[in-house]
Amino acid sequence: MKVPMVDMLAGYPPIKDEIENAVKGVFNKANFILGEEVAKFEKEFAAHNGTKYAIGVANGTDAIRMALIASGVKKGDEVITSPFTFIATSETISQVGAIPVFADIDPVTFNLDPKSVEKKITSKTKAIVPVHLYGMPCDMDAFMALAKKHSLIVIEDTAQAFTGKYKNAAGDWKYLGSIGHCGTFSFFPAKNLGAFGDGGAVTTNDEKIYETLKQLRNHGSKVRYHHEMEGFNSRLDTVQAAVLSVRLKHVEKWTEMRNAVAAKYAAALKGVCVTPVVPANARHSFNYYTLRFDSKAKRDAAQKYLTEQQIANQIYYPIALHLQEAYAHLGGKRGDLPVCDAVMDTVFSLPMYPELSDEQIKVVTDAVKKAV
Ligand SMILES: *Cc1c(COP(=O)(O)O)cnc(C)c1O
């Protein structure tokens, strides 16, 4: 049986009318640029996350870039982040003139390891960008403590983790992206809250950062043709905002369905390979479901077999950032970040979306078992 990685259309029929009406509303008003649907969605998104502000932007990459600028990251600053993420996390750091510094990851959560981060802090360090990889919450208490101790900014790359939650030491459950100085989000179709095209957002509780972001996304201007700074053309599209407002109402249910799929995967694969271990103080958003094998040979064999069976699979990510050609100038090599090197050689991700059926789950897990 063919099983896709994601099925964007599986969840569409129940909300089709609602979405199409919302889109028609924008077409009929023709308020395509920063129409009222954008402000409406921003309010709803901030309320969902429990932050004071949300700013809709063109995509999740711009969200990181503008959050860095609005938080005061400048040319020559060092920004510590994970080597085990999509390049958007680090290319934006370089693009604002700062230097990405890669620290090692945790072997269980695959997220940035606070102990490794602390070792990389220098007098030039300005910010930390933890990434909630696959939807797995980072150890935010540790990062916030480091930030306080060293006066650093924390920007949470929450592109894969909207609806994920973290319980802090005080016992409060917080949505991911609402804990650091800024949280950045992507509405790329395959993310937890996907638009019907590109989209992104930044959340913050800091009014000054919020005001700066509002200017940055619109050519540095508050009033048309008055530019207090240079900015970007990076507004959230009004049609996408209308779609997102509808989908936002369903996203919690979808995350529950993803968690149910994950539980079935874990039960079926017990003892076969390592399945995600979600800490007690975390809610995973399961944007991706990632397995770890005890050797590269086993991982590669499993991947080959699933591909032959037409079961979609993907390695997120086959080459860690410190080993990418784009970062050759930083001099990274195998052995520098040993946990990351070992993890990237032994993981791969299974199909994951809310509507995945029991039959599909069985086909996928039987194939993994057979391959191992
Ligand atoms: C998807 C993603 C981004 C970028 O989001 P876009 O909307 O595609 O620009 C950034 N960081 C991570 C970890 C992502 O997965």
- What is the three-class DSSP state of 333? coil
Torsion of CA 63, 122, 148, 48, to 10 degrees: 20
> For 160-182, how does the pLDDT look when each residue is reduced to its tens digit (9 = 90+)?
999 999 999 999 999 999 999 99
Q: What is the domain range of residue 337?
A: 251-371
In a domain, 29, yes or no: yes
Residues 234 and 364 in one domain: no
333-343 average pLDDT score: 97
d(CA 310, CA 319): 24
CATH code where residue 332 lies: 3.90.1150.10
47-64 average pLDDT score: 98
**Binding pocket residue ranges, ligand 1, CB within 6 Å:** 59-61, 85-86, 88-89, 131, 157, 159-160, 186, 188, 198, 200
Q: Is the per-residue pLDDT at 1 higher than 90?
A: no
Contact yes or no for 185/213 (Cβ under 8 A): no
How many residues comprise the chain? 372
Q: What is the pLDDT of residue 285?
A: 98
Which of 5, 57, 61 should be mutated for ligand 1, with most atoms under 8 A from CB?
A: 61
d(CA 299, CA 291): 9
Which residues are within 8 A (CB) of 14 and not within 5 positions of it... i.e. 6 or more apart? none
Q: pLDDT tier at 313 (50, 70, 90 boundaries)?
A: very high
Residue nearest to atom 14 of ligand 1 (CA): 159
Rounded to the nearest whole angstrom, what is the distance from the C-alpha of residue 236 to the centroid of ligand 1? 15
Mean pLDDT for the chain? 97
Rounded to the nearest whole angstrom, what is the distance from the C-alpha of residue 362 to the centroid of ligand 1? 30
Q: What share of the chain is helix, strand, coil (3-state, %, to 5)?
A: 40, 15, 40
Residues 52 and 30 in one domain: yes
Cα four-point dihedral sign 269, 275, 280, 283: negative
Q: Which neighbouring-strand residues pair with 167?
A: 173
Residues 230 and 306 in one domain: no
DSSP 190: T
Q: For the chain, how many structural domains are there in total?
A: 2
Residues 28 and 170 in one domain: yes
Q: Which of 183, 215, 248 is the last residue of a domain?
A: 248
